[in-house]
Structure 1
């Protein structure tokens, strides 16, 4: 494999509580996940399989989705102050 291992978007995996969820993937996506898992293991020294990576990849994706953040984040402190001042 001639992939660069200098930096992966997904860093070392944290220990977390989990729930089981069953999903279906295309064969191409499963192949890519297996390749990513192999590269992740090579980069960080801990063997990991694709199924273990999926929740972490999704977490990173959601954390970086600006549209999602705007839709679900609470109003800013400045907005709350302006609303309070208007009601006084």
Structure 2
């Protein structure tokens, strides 16, 4: 069997989930989208739903406790 430099390609297809947000959180997402558009010189704000994934990604990337535990979880699985 040939040994290649690449192993299996990870499944990077988006996964659609449905969540219910408190009305106040939705209002804040709408306001955030408006402020973001204004600060970037855009005429229309982005769909607030499009902000959720980058916000969660940023949150998890900057959560030191999560990163530490995630690293230990991956080590245990290996």
TM-score by length of 1: 0.60
Gaps of 5+ in 2: 1-11, 73-78
Q: CA deviation at 1:17?
A: 5.3
Q: Which has the larger radius of gyration?
A: 1
2:53 is matched with which residue? 55
| Residues in 2 aligned to 1:39 and 1:59: alpha-carbon distance in whole angstroms | 20
Larger RCO: 1 or 2 (CA < 8 Å, sep 6+):
1
Q: CA deviation at 1:55?
A: 0.4
In structure 2, the CA distance between the partners of 1:26 and 1:63, relative to structure 1 (3 Å rule), is: same
Establish whether residue 34 from structure 1 lines up as the match of residue 27 from structure 2: no
| Residues in 1 aligned to 2:40 and 2:67: alpha-carbon distance in whole angstroms | 29
Task: State the number of aligned residues.
Answer: 59
Q: CA deviation at 1:63?
A: 0.3
In structure 2, the CA distance between the partners of 1:17 and 1:52, relative to structure 1 (3 Å rule), is: farther
